Chains A and B, each alone.
Chain A
């Protein structure tokens, strides 16, 4: 059974066995049944999914069987850091390959927490996750504690669908750097939902590397709430999957809260990657920053939809959005949709977009120094990418992301 019906049937068979609030799951299932998969029903259009259709997901036949693949091999090629790591293999916590943090972690399977921020009734993929989630990470950094660096890794395979559910809470003045890596092998669906609470004065740095198998589907929806003086600083690098959608809803609820939702998408072949954000400025004096860079080769397509909502009393809001694309082929496409909805009158909000091919003057300069055409192109693309990673302040993490990009680049040159 394919598409939405297949997922609903699976839920029907599992409903008594799933952890957590069964009423919430039932409501999510009803919402999912009504909405269907975005793009999965001909003739039904959802504005939030204007440029991305999950029709291939609706047409895929996911089988809930344990796939056979070498999780350790994939783990070995990932650019991991020397720090605690929580590893999920095929959607299930695998303690054997994890390096557990000293405290503050529980698996969702044992301590299910659906949180309070998500909207299963508005987001079909969140409804699907709520209906079928079985495991994930529940992280808690108590007030005034420094959680250091923590890696959250997902390795999956086969032709199966996975619905990890994460909950991350930072108490007042707490700190954490979270590096989330997802990779795999197969034509699976990874549909993650994360809920993040950053309390007053807390700081979360959230780095994501999406390096899924090239025939995989990746959907990730994150809800963030940032209280007064808190900061959520995120960077997402999308290089894998045939189709991916990263959606972030960030609510700045307290005075002076900060959210940075930066991203780079590096695509080739017929890859499609969508980075969609909704930033809500609900309190005065908050800052949001978004720089999204795309490098698009082949027939790939990059999407950035950025919505900024400024509430009536969110005076002195400072919002900035920039989408840049480097098109390496005449068949590549970028779609950019900024939306500003401003009800306050004393705000600074700006957005911009640039799209271009490689600069002909820079190309000529390099070639006039003896550097052949192909090598000159490679130098300029790498430079654009290096620039994209400037948003990552931590040098060790940046080096890991550079290594992932280098692997991507070697794949292109091969």
Chain B
């Protein structure tokens, strides 16, 4: 279970998150919506441990452990995964080697035996097929020359292979066509179970049609201004954020 209590975060002197309270129980998928610049991506980065931010107050625990004291790789080993809104290109780094290194680092952290190249490729090929991705994606350099949609699918592939306990998906649906959107949703749905939870950052109702959330939260000006069931997403699609932003101000 992810528990965020009164989290306030700034970049330099500029406050971005101003007291977030959010609980995502195990087994649940929550959607996080809200206007641009409201702090959604910042929350994702702070959860996965990017150090460009100053945490001015609050705490974040995952299954009772304080996440904020941990290095990014320790959080990954604890089961936190961030699907980047803009996945980073790694020229000269082979995608399969990258994925195997990551998986083995996490397995090592859990005292599990590492997978050799053959074992890993078997697993990676199966996941690639399941996500209807071309197999040559494994042979290419990480995200280099990938289309926008391929980059997003590569994030989902990483998630499928690393099998996190909680995934934060930062606008993984943006820029995807209907088929790719369904692949992304299926990727998350396949992981759904009592041990898995997800925080899905999105602007669109569309993704939530395929990936029905347990709860929907609206972030505006660094605060959660409203929470509700899946019907809240439908309502926002109709009314926009204008009313909510005014409430927050």
Which residues of A does B touch, CB under 8 Å? 361-362, 364-373, 375-376, 379-380, 382-387
Q: Closest CB of chain A to B199's CB: distance in Å?
A: 15
Q: Mark B57-97, 1 if CB is under 8 A from A, else 0.
A: 00000000000000111011100011010011011110000
Assess the A370–B109 pair: CB atoms within 8 A: yes
Q: Closest CB of chain A to B108's CB: distance in Å?
A: 9
Q: Closest CB of chain A to B161's CB: distance in Å?
A: 10
Assess the B50–A364 pair: CB atoms within 8 A: yes
Assess the B105–A383 pair: CB atoms within 8 A: no
Assess the A375–B101 pair: CB atoms within 8 A: yes
B221 at the interface (CB under 8 A from A): no
Q: Hey, which chain B residues are within 8 Å of A361, CB to CB? A: 88
Q: Hey, which chain B residues are within 8 Å of A362, CB to CB? A: 88, 90
- Tell me whether A370 and B88 are in contact in the complex, defined as CB-CB below 8 angstroms, given that A364-B50, A379-B93 are known contacts: no
Which residues of B does A touch, CB under 8 Å? 48-51, 71-73, 75-77, 81-82, 84, 87-88, 90-93, 98, 101-103, 105-106, 109, 158, 162
Q: Hey, which chain B residues are within 8 Å of A369, CB to CB? A: 76, 98, 102, 105, 158, 162
A373 to B81, CA, bound (A): 17
Assess the A383–B90 pair: CB atoms within 8 A: yes
Q: Hey, which chain A residues are within 8 Å of B98, CB to CB? A: 366, 369, 379
Assess the A383–B109 pair: CB atoms within 8 A: no
Q: Closest CB of chain B to A309's CB: distance in Å?
A: 33
Q: Closest CB of chain A to B167's CB: distance in Å?
A: 12
Q: Closest CB of chain B to A148's CB: distance in Å?
A: 30
By CB atoms of chain B within 10 A, which of A370, A371, A380 has the most?
Answer: A370
A384 to B91, CA, bound (A): 8
Give the nearest-CB partner of A365 in chain B.
B88
Assess the B72–A364 pair: CB atoms within 8 A: yes
Assess the B102–A370 pair: CB atoms within 8 A: yes
Assess the B91–A387 pair: CB atoms within 8 A: yes
Assess the B106–A368 pair: CB atoms within 8 A: no
A372 to B74, CA, bound (A): 8
Provide a sorted-by-A list of 20 A–B residue pairs whose CB atoms are within 8 angstroms: A361-B88, A362-B90, A365-B84, A365-B87, A366-B98, A367-B72, A368-B73, A368-B81, A370-B103, A370-B162, A371-B102, A372-B105, A373-B73, A376-B73, A379-B98, A380-B90, A383-B90, A383-B92, A384-B92, A387-B92
Q: Hey, which chain A residues are within 8 Å of B105, CB to CB? A: 369-372, 375
Q: Hey, which chain B residues are within 8 Å of A375, CB to CB? A: 101, 105
Assess the B92–A367 pair: CB atoms within 8 A: no
A387 to B82, CA, bound (A): 28
Give the nearest-CB partner of B50 in chain A.
A364
Q: Closest CB of chain B to A390's CB: distance in Å?
A: 9
Q: Hey, which chain B residues are within 8 Å of A383, CB to CB? A: 90-93
A368 to B71, CA, bound (A): 9
Q: Hey, which chain A residues are within 8 Å of B103, CB to CB? A: 370
Closest 4 CB pairs of A and B: A383-B92, A370-B76, A369-B102, A367-B72
Assess the B76–A367 pair: CB atoms within 8 A: yes
Q: Closest CB of chain B to A406's CB: distance in Å?
A: 14
Assess the A368–B92 pair: CB atoms within 8 A: no
A88 to B142, CA, bound (A): 44
A371 to B105, CA, bound (A): 6
Q: Hey, which chain B residues are within 8 Å of A382, CB to CB? A: 92
Assess the A368–B72 pair: CB atoms within 8 A: yes
Assess the A368–B90 pair: CB atoms within 8 A: no
Give the nearest-CB partner of A389 in chain B.
B92
Q: Hey, which chain A residues are within 8 Å of B106, CB to CB? A: 370
Q: Hey, which chain B residues are within 8 Å of A387, CB to CB? A: 91-92
Q: Hey, which chain B residues are within 8 Å of A384, CB to CB? A: 92
Give the nearest-CB partner of A386 in chain B.
B92
Assess the B82–A368 pair: CB atoms within 8 A: yes
Give the nearest-CB partner of A359 in chain B.
B88
Q: Hey, which chain A residues are within 8 Å of B90, CB to CB? A: 362, 365-366, 379-380, 383
Q: Hey, which chain A residues are within 8 Å of B49, CB to CB? A: 364, 367-368
A368 to B87, CA, bound (A): 12
Q: Hey, which chain A residues are within 8 Å of B76, CB to CB? A: 367-370
A383 to B93, CA, bound (A): 6
Q: Hey, which chain B residues are within 8 Å of A386, CB to CB? A: 92
A370 to B71, CA, bound (A): 9
Q: Closest CB of chain B to A359's CB: distance in Å?
A: 8
Q: Hey, which chain A residues are within 8 Å of B102, CB to CB? A: 366, 369-371
Q: Closest CB of chain A to B231's CB: distance in Å?
A: 33
